[in-house]
Amino acid sequence: TQLLEQSPQFLSIQEGENLTVYCNSSSVFSSLQWYRQEPGEGPVLLVTVVTGGEVKKLKRLTFQFGDARKDSSLHITAAQPGDTGLYLCAASRSGGSYIPTFGRGTSLIVHP
């Protein structure tokens, strides 16, 4: 069973459009992370959200952690071709060490 459900699985849009991707779970997390992975590369950490209701912005990317800390969203404004990639959410399994469990990801293609 997938601990983290991501939707949509695929997204193909034109440059300049806005989009939102979602990460949902029935579990409560102390923190949640978003990564972007480009073809042939490993994931790169974009942001970590910790507090329920927290909103973080990274240029045109806005990340929100749900009030109950069970879900998160990533909104991209005016998407650009450089935003193309696989967006992964991840949360720690538990314990003193940080070992993230990843969702399946949302594959985003932004056409020029």
Residues near another protein (CB under 8 A) = 4, 31, 33, 40-45, 48, 88, 90, 92-93, 96-105
For β-strands 5-7 and 10-14, DSSP reports them as unpaired
For another protein, which is the closer residue by CB, 62 or 92? 92
DSSP type of residue 83: G
For another protein, which is the closer residue by CB, 61 or 89? 89
CB of 68 to another protein, least distance (A): 20
For another protein, which is the closer residue by CB, 1 or 97? 97
For another protein, which is the closer residue by CB, 40 or 112? 40
| Rounded Cα distance, 48 and 26, in Å | 19
Pick from 13, 17, 20: which is nearest to 78 by CA?
A: 17
CB of 67 to another protein, least distance (A): 21
CB of 73 to another protein, least distance (A): 17
- Helical H segments across 32-86, by residue range: none
Q: Which amino acid is at 37?
A: Q
| Rounded Cα distance, 43 and 89, in Å | 10
DSSP type of residue 67: T
CB of 59 to another protein, least distance (A): 19
